[in-house]
């Protein structure tokens, strides 16, 4: 059995700062103003790809920041362990981008998206391993979300 992961306020604060910087880069990269001035019909698919990946990436970072804020609140004593358990769980990042759409994006954006996935995967590992002895059933909302994701994936 592996050692339990130790999360402390310094780790959470460092991850929070990293998340804020990464989120700002995401906001800047997916801002459409200025990019759509000269739009042709050929660019419609690229615009859809940019919008779709922008939504996925922004959502991923919003979940990451919410998770980190909940853990900051826990370490500051603003919420208890039960509240953290109920509201501080990180959803899985199951929705993958369509490779055809990803090919339409600029390489810098693809690299940024991959950075957000790597960051989110780190948080998922922390979330899943911080309480290794816990055998908690997913909430009804989490089960519904998983079923919807499975249906959309098929």
Whether residue 3 is contained in a domain is answered as no
pLDDT for position 5? 59
What CATH number does the domain containing 21 carry? 1.10.8.930
pLDDT for position 15: 96
**87 pLDDT above the threshold of 90:** no
Domain that holds residue 145: 9-153
pLDDT of residue 41 exceeding 50, the answer is no
- Is 23 among the domain residues? yes
The reply to whether 2 falls in a domain is no
Contact 90, 127 (CB under 8 A): yes
How many domains in the chain?
Answer: 1
Specify if 1 maps to a domain. no
User: Does residue 96 lie in a domain region?
Assistant: yes
Q: How far apart are the C-alpha atoms of 154 and 138, rounded to whole Å?
A: 22
Q: Is residue 102 part of a domain?
A: yes
39 against 86, higher pLDDT: 86
Print burial letters for 113-136: b (CB count within 10 Å at least 16), e (below 16): beebbebbeebbebbeeeeeeeee
- In a domain, residue 4? The reply is no
The encoded tokens of residue 154 equal: 């098929």
Which pLDDT band holds residue 20 (cuts at 50, 70, 90)? very high
Structure tokens given for 132: 């290794």
CB 110 within 8 A of CB 102: yes
pTM of the predicted model, to two decimals? 0.75
More confident residue, 141 or 80: 80
Quick check: is 149 in a domain?
yes
């Amino acid at each position: 059995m592996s050692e339990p992961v130790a999360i402390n306020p310094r780790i959470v604060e460092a991850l929070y700062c990293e998340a804020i910087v990464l989120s700002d880069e995401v906001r800047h990269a997916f801002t459409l103003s200025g990019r759509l001035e000269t739009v042709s019909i050929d660019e419609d698919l690229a615009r859809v790809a940019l919008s779709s990946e922008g939504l996925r990436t922004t959502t991923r970072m919003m979940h990451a920041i919410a998770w980190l804020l909940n853990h900051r609140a826990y370490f500051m004593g603003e919420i208890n362990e039960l509240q953290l358990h109920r509201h501080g769980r990180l959803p899985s990042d199951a929705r993958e981008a369509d490779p055809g759409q990803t090919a339409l994006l600029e390489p810098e954006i693809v690299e940024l998206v991959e950075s957000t996935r790597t960051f989110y995967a780190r948080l998922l590992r922390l979330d899943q391993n911080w309480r290794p002895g816990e055998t908690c059933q997913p909430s009804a909302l989490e089960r519904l979300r998983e079923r919807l994701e499975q249906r959309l994936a098929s």
